[in-house]
Chain A
Amino acid sequence: MSVNLVEQDIFTEKEPDTLNPDERKGKLEDENSLGRDVRFYPPLYMQRYSYTANILEKHNVEWVVDFGCSECGIVRFYREVPTLRKVQLVDIDRETLEFHKNCIKPHASDYIFKRKNPLSIEIYEGSAVNLDQRVTGCDAVSMVEFIEHLVPDILVKVEDAVFGRLHPFLVIVTTPNFEFNTLFPGKLRFRHFDHKFEWTRKEFQKWCQDVCDKYRYSVEFSGIGDPPEESQQLGYCSQAAIFTSSSQSKPTVDSDGNCYCLVAQSIFPHRDKELLLSPEEILKLEVTFTINLLKQSYPDKYSDQEQDEEQMEISIKQLMLFSKISKLVNADRLSHHIIHMDYPWDEDVTYRIWGKGQVHWTLK
């Protein structure tokens, strides 16, 4: 992902709407004062979400759990991941979840541009220390800018819960790269008042390696937010680790029962009816639609010609111009289908339509 760095207000558009309202003021203040000369577009938080979503798609993930979802902003990207069928968002802060729970509702446009796969999004209040039985069996876990909010003994418990007990085949973790903070003017400090730590790349990589050793994962490192040209040595603004498990079989998880509390749930519409149609039925609809379309434009087009305007000729060739049809069949099969659809046709592959859709064949 390429990123634009500019000499301007930093982070002025960073996570504007997805901040916890209580934290918003504090956070913006902090980060505004952090730097005046680095600026990301799109905002870094969006780049993180988008990065994570892309990795899920690449790994064909169908079921993901996001721990530390906070304002649920990641939904905006997860809902666009075609492979996903289930998204579960977990956070400990009920108030924030309640405030933002409506963002998982499908929009009116989602009913028009439907997804191919069904998708259910659930929001839970709960702690990543515990595992609800409803999250067991997931393919992937994402923890975006989450671990740095945890005190050490909690972090250890979360490691055990996620990597140990839940053990999905894919885990994505992002966290601030402390080295990058030197680019922000003023005193060197953490980016957010609630951060318990911010790691250098070395520290993060050590933690990741320890996790891998302990829970049998392999890890790849990457990051989000390119540093400016002259500061390449500092690394990305956010560092990311992608853990994959080699074990094929899903573990049997000892869950803590129903320890999460469901805050909101929504089901996205998908192309259920369309998928039930056979290719023949789809073709039939396409042909009917296309012929009607051609009829609509017909009087305009041929009105100057000496012919009865009540009838028109359409050639197979003309129908094959429409990609929706030509994608489904070749010309020969189309003619074959058209006979079956009661559109008579003649030797040189044309047919005529009379009046309001009555069809009549002529042999030339």
Chain B
Amino acid sequence: MSGRGRARARGRARGASEDQARRPGEQTAPPREQPPSSAPAPAPAGGPPAASGRASYRGGAKEPRPGIASASGDVPVDAMSKLTVGTRDVGEKRDRMYYSDPETKPAWLSDKKGTSGTQLPVVTNYFKLEMAPDWHLYQYHVEFNPPIDSRKMRMALLMHHENLLGKTKAFDGMILYLSHRLQEQVTEVYSQRNSDSAQIRITITRTNELPPSSPQVMQVYNIIFRRVLATIDMKQIGRNYFNPSLSVDIPQHKLSVMPGFVTAIAKHEYDTLLCADISHKITRSDTLLDMMYNLYNQNRGDSFYDDCVRMFVGSIVLTRYNNKTYRVDDFDWDKRPDFSFKLRNDVSITLAEYYKKNYNITVTDMNQPLLVSRPKKKDIRMGRTEPIYLLPELCTLTGLTDEARADFNVMKDVGAHTRVPPEGRNRTLQGFIDQINKNEKVQAEMGGWGLKFSRTLLNLNARIAPREKVMQKGGVELSYRQEDADWGRDMRGKQLITPVNLENWVILFIRRNSAQAQDLVQTLSRVGPPMGMNIATPTACELPDDRTDSFLGAMKDHVTPETQLAVIVLPTNRKDRYDAIKKFCCVDHPVPSQCVVQRTLSKKQMLMSVATKIAIQLNCKLGGEVWCLEVPLKNIMVVGIDTYHDSAKKGRSVGGVVCSLNKNLTRYYSRTTFQHTGEELVKGLLTSLRGALQKYHEVNGVLPERIVVFRDGVGDGQLKAVFEYEMPQLLECFKRSGGQDYNPRVAVIVVKKRINTRFFVKSGPSLTNPPPGTIIDDVVTKPIWFDFFLVSQSVRQGTVTPTHYNVIWDTTGLKPDHLQRLAYKMTHLYYNWPGTIRVPAPCQYAHKLAFLVGQSIHKDPHMSLSDRLYFL
């Protein structure tokens, strides 16, 4: 029952009296509460998906699914759970509370397992939840007569009947779960109320028997597990549980790292499994006020206010007095702790007095401004519409600032604690489950429910997909080891597949950097020819100063329609200048551009390799190709979609759409879409895809027979929206853009990078990361999905994170094995990295594009660039 203390210790400086009706003590309305009382999950630190998810198309109008709808997705979990819940009104309320993943496995699919490659036994971070074969959970509806308003009172009254109900139960004031079946369908008992000795009749009606795999039982499992975590003294921060007593201080950065776990119990392919992974909370030992003083003392002058906003707005703070987290939405520079607000009884009180009286906390700095946290959606529903004012002195930042994140020293020291290799992870997780299994109180709780966890991590079989041949011009194969997945070394002296000669180009630099610029030009012309690129002497343009206007002016003068490329040597990586230049080159005056910071050119001994990398990048920006793989599928278009959400500009997100144009899947057409919160991503998608199909037709003379869409940027809880709304429209759009008889075979695959599943491989006595190409399509997958995990990248430190692929639509006729191999192949084709990456290359390109547009350009790039990788 961990949530109680916290729930009580509410109290915040609210601005007005509207919220009178709901003070802590009066929150008696149980129906809206989370199920069995004990641990109400507070809003996660990151906010609900709608607020901070990367794609912001949620919540739009829901239309009935067009034509194709009936095929697979119609086993509505909603309807099922409605059936399973007892009384109807309760059931409906409950449905709104839970998010359940849509069932997206195509009906025709009998076996989602692939076949190719070699077997590899792996260990994964899951534990089996074990129960007796005939195990059931019994659900009861509890009524009190005379009615009792207070939830606590109801619990206390029910507690008198331990003999009947047993010690183990979950009760939220209305619904009671027990692990055993009461004799009668309806049981009546009486409790005496202390205050007036009144007899209260309690009617306990059995409403359901739930099998171990029912979705509702999953919720109960998770509630029980939260109790278990509280029992072993784990503290909840946001969504995860942490063990503060094990936190490690990094005093030189005023940080501490708190180890914890992220856990979830869910139904997987065969069993109910507990997924547990290590997670770390980074907390600061100084208050937000300290940080603001530090910022001020960094002598930033007038920019101080802007800097504060830039650094802290959007971050999550933890308050010391009530252990709650808030998002900082703004600063109020005019108000001070002596700002007074009205309590619900219309009496004014200053913030300082409020904290003194309510928490016995003395505010020491009366000169600090206030933080503003706007009410969350949930708060607004509860009637709290006024912003919440917080004192910087009483808040601490959770997580790192961007500046700290960019600081190599900080990240090195933090990473030493947060980056855990497979062996350490295994040991920690093993210790975690041992602690749970050995703790007496946990035993009592779990035993009472008839549940227990397996003692060791789960073992299963994976496959390593065959190594892919990577080729350059003339079918020259690049040699590399699949474990390292890096062919950068072997590219030297080999020709690019399609080199583009650089004949008419411009280089801009300021006077101070003219030597470096000359070096770069010389080196480029040296490294170009062996790769097949001839690089002519550019128009050199020396600028008198480094003002942004100087750069833009010079470009206007020297970039002509014939100019293939502009290279800009920048003295520093100042963002505003970079943004202005990119905007000029992508929107106003379309030309592929390459910015190089002077510092990267300053080390002579590195210049050769730097120039080689730049040359390859230039080749891509000019529409050339670098390496390729064997792609046996003919007439296929691969699409990558990703979204970028600018945390500073709340409410707008950018979608990047990238579509392959050629057989080798090496040339791409790209478009961007903009959408505000609440708008559907799909609107812009349709125009983009129509353009892509036209271009494909232009290049190939036919429309693609098969289209495979890799959709990235789908947050937790958004899958349903993508499946029910976006995907049908996508399919419709493909059909419509291609004319009457056009009926492409389509697969839509949702790609998820941020997952908690990990895999380890036994190597001698210890564990290591699985090699790139490892595919897992069994046991830890879900029966309602056509999904698999793929480890495609190679990491040097820490534990590799597999990528989850969920095929939510598939009429391609390809075998699961083919789709898996295709996904793996696509991870080889990102030209900014001579190796494999975490996601299919089109997703990474789409990400790059969305990032560039969302960060720097903020406008649609010029159409004339859309058939090149200008955004690399």
Contacts and interface: CB of A to CB of B under 8 A. Distances in A.
Interface of A: 1, 4, 6, 8, 12-13, 15-18, 20-27, 29-30, 39, 41-42, 46-47, 50, 53-54, 76-77, 80-81, 95, 99, 102-103, 105-113, 193, 269, 273, 285, 288-290, 292-297, 299-301, 303-304, 306, 309-310, 318, 321-324, 356-357
27 contacts: A4-B343, A6-B347, A12-B25, A24-B150, A25-B153, A26-B196, A41-B347, A41-B349, A50-B357, A53-B360, A54-B360, A103-B4, A103-B8, A107-B5, A107-B6, A108-B244, A109-B318, A109-B321, A110-B323, A289-B253, A292-B409, A303-B572, A303-B574, A306-B512, A318-B299, A322-B297, A356-B408
Given A53-B360, A108-B244, A25 B320 contact: no
Given A50-B357, A303-B572, A105 B5 contact: yes
Given A22-B194, A297-B295, 7 more contacts: A18-B8, A41-B347, A95-B156, A109-B319, A289-B253, A292-B409, A321-B297
B792 interface: no
B166 interface: no
Q: By DSSP majority rule, is chain B's interface helix, strand, loop, or mixed?
A: mixed
B803 interface: no
Contacts, number: 184
Contacts of B639: none
A161 B746 CA distance: 83
Interface stretch (B235-243, B474-482, B727-735): B235-243
Given A109-B323, A112-B283, A29 B244 contact: no
B148 interface: yes
A34 B571 CA distance: 77
Contacts of B256: 112
A21 B150 contact: yes
Given A22-B156, A109-B319, A297 B5 contact: no
Contacts of A15: 25
Interface string B236-270: 11000010110101011110101000000000000
Contact of B193 (A18, A22, A99): A22
B396 interface: yes
A26 B512 contact: no
A41 B20 CA distance: 13
B382 interface: no
A288 B599 CA distance: 25
A4 B347 contact: yes
A270 B571 CA distance: 48
What are the 6 closest A-B residue pairs judged by CB atoms, nearest first? A26-B195, A16-B25, A111-B244, A21-B156, A107-B323, A22-B194
Contacts of B148: 25
Nearest to B361: A80
Interface stretch (B399-407, B653-661, B804-812): B399-407
Q: Which among B6, B249, B360 has the highest number of chain A CB atoms within 10 Å?
A: B360
Contacts of B818: none
A109 B242 CA distance: 11
A9 to B, nearest CB: 9
Range for the number of chain B residues in contact with chain A = 35 or more
Contacts of A269: 244-245
A107 B10 CA distance: 13
A140 to B, nearest CB: 16
Given A76-B9, A303-B572, A17 B25 contact: yes
A77 B26 CA distance: 21
A297 B299 CA distance: 10
Nearest to B348: A4
A309 B349 contact: no
B824 to A, nearest CB: 37
B253 A292 contact: yes
A55 B150 CA distance: 34
A323 B293 contact: yes
B152 A24 contact: yes
Interface in B368-402: 396
Given A53-B360, A323-B293, A193 B8 contact: no
A89 B523 CA distance: 78
Given A112-B283, A303-B572, A39 B345 contact: yes
B334 interface: no
A6 B26 contact: no
Given A13-B23, A25-B150, A41-B347, A108 B235 contact: yes
A113 B396 contact: yes
B359 to A, nearest CB: 7
A319 to B, nearest CB: 9
Contacts of B8: 17-18, 103
Contacts of A295: 407
Contact of A293 (B298, B359, B572): B298
A83 to B, nearest CB: 13
A281 to B, nearest CB: 9
A103 B5 contact: yes
A126 to B, nearest CB: 20
A294 B349 CA distance: 39
Interface string B346-373: 1101000000011111000000000000
Residue with the greatest number of chain B CB neighbours at <10 A, chosen from A16, A193, A294? A16
